[in-house]
Structure 1
């Protein structure tokens, strides 16, 4: 991860603000990103203003009605006690446990109709943020790679992921796009 950390450092050295929304595996950063790198760390969501547009950023986990089990697991995994205990594990064991948990959670190959239903439900969250005055809503977690712009020009972006879709969001000159890394 040295190249990523190095690039983040270069961006901060150029006085570019970086806002990082913690994801499933990011609650154990131990102050490194916001300390030496000066990155703005947000627990689950944040609002920023860029080019005069209010942008709501959220990890998105736990938003679906059916996410009750996940919400309970999230409370446990983010607890100070679990984080403290995890830090006492040998790195080989800790990384193996984390990778196994990630693989299990990714094995849920969803049919298209389920993805459509998920996107519809998540769109309600975007509608609520738009009603509060936000212009753009950006969300991760669900690994859906979708960009929707409504008739008022307000945008909702589900980022997809960097593991299988190779997607990311780009906001440039007041315009939001869904981009892909070359494979």
Structure 2
């Protein structure tokens, strides 16, 4: 992708709408919708890097109640011709084709390479990447198993969604969330993952979410690791203007 003059690419992650309750997250939803409304003015594309919802599951004919403002804004942005890309996170990993069919937004279940203005990007949510976090990686294999999803689908949505929302908030093994303090480069799994990737291919930018910390780490002379933070306490996002990448606060 080559950026049009004066256009930018925007990145955001970890809104966790619905947590800890729908009522508590409603102001955050309105704030995020206001951000979307603002960045659409000069957006070449918008990347959402997962955990937009604190829980999401697509039954054959049912999706979780709520979030109409953010879904409506995303539909408006796509209808205007601006590309939007969505990467599932560990809280909305059971996303299937609803976004693709209803909003015309492609959904990715793993990290993906992009090239913008000659710069190489590796973009994803970030859960389960790098060394460590063995318990969560095992749990993710269970959750993403087709048989597990088939079993869950047999629960009535009122029961299934309520149970999943409770576990999403209470069980840190299921959520995959680690310490929200910076652990040092040697203990940050995503930084270690990025360094290992650089051993076989050059990337100018690694852009991830999941850690809930706004981070900018210089990996070598020309490669940077970016973590986008979240829309719970930081309200941070990334913007690439074709030449440089910045983390900003809304």
TM-score bracket relative to the smaller structure: 0.7 to 0.9
Which residue number corresponds to residue 98 of structure 1?
A: 164
Residue 150 of structure 1, CA deviation: 4.6
Candidates 103, 119, 122, aligned match of 2:190? 122
Matched, 1:46 2:115: no
Matched, 1:135 2:204: yes
Which residue number corresponds to residue 155 of structure 1?
A: 224
The 10-residue stretch of structure 1 (16-25 or 168-177) with the greater mean CA deviation from structure 2? 168-177
Residue 113 of structure 1, CA deviation: 6.3
Residue 147 of structure 1, CA deviation: 1.3
Candidates 73, 83, 89, aligned match of 1:17? 83
Deviation digits for residues 116-157 of structure 1, max 9, x if unmatched? 5533x4223222344512211011222222112355242211
Residue 72 of structure 1, CA deviation: 0.8
Residue 109 of structure 1, CA deviation: 7.4
Q: Distance in 2 between matches of 1:107 and 1:83?
A: 18
Which residue number corresponds to residue 173 of structure 1?
A: 242
The 10-residue stretch of structure 1 (43-52 or 161-170) with the greater mean CA deviation from structure 2? 161-170
Matched, 1:62 2:131: no
Stretches of 4+ aligned residues off by more than 4 angstroms: 106-109
Structure 2: segments with no counterpart, 5+ residues: 1-66
Per the normalisation by structure 2, the TM-score is 0.63
Candidates 60, 82, 94, aligned match of 1:28? 94
Contact 2:181/2:213 (CA < 8 Å) preserved in 1?
Answer: no
Q: CA 1:83–1:149 in 2, change beyond 3 Å: closer, same or farther?
A: same
Q: Distance in 2 between matches of 1:111 and 1:21?
A: 21
Structure 1: segments with no counterpart, 5+ residues: none
The 10-residue stretch of structure 1 (70-79 or 87-96) with the greater mean CA deviation from structure 2? 87-96
Residue 57 of structure 1, CA deviation: 0.6
Per the normalisation by structure 1, the TM-score is 0.82
RMSD: 2.6
The 10-residue stretch of structure 1 (67-76 or 53-62) with the greater mean CA deviation from structure 2? 53-62
Q: How many residues align?
A: 180
For 1:35, what is the secondary structure of its paired residue? Answer: helix
For 1:59, what is the secondary structure of its paired residue? Answer: coil
Q: Distance in 1 between matches of 2:182 and 2:122?
A: 27
Q: CA 1:103–1:163 in 2, change beyond 3 Å: closer, same or farther?
A: same
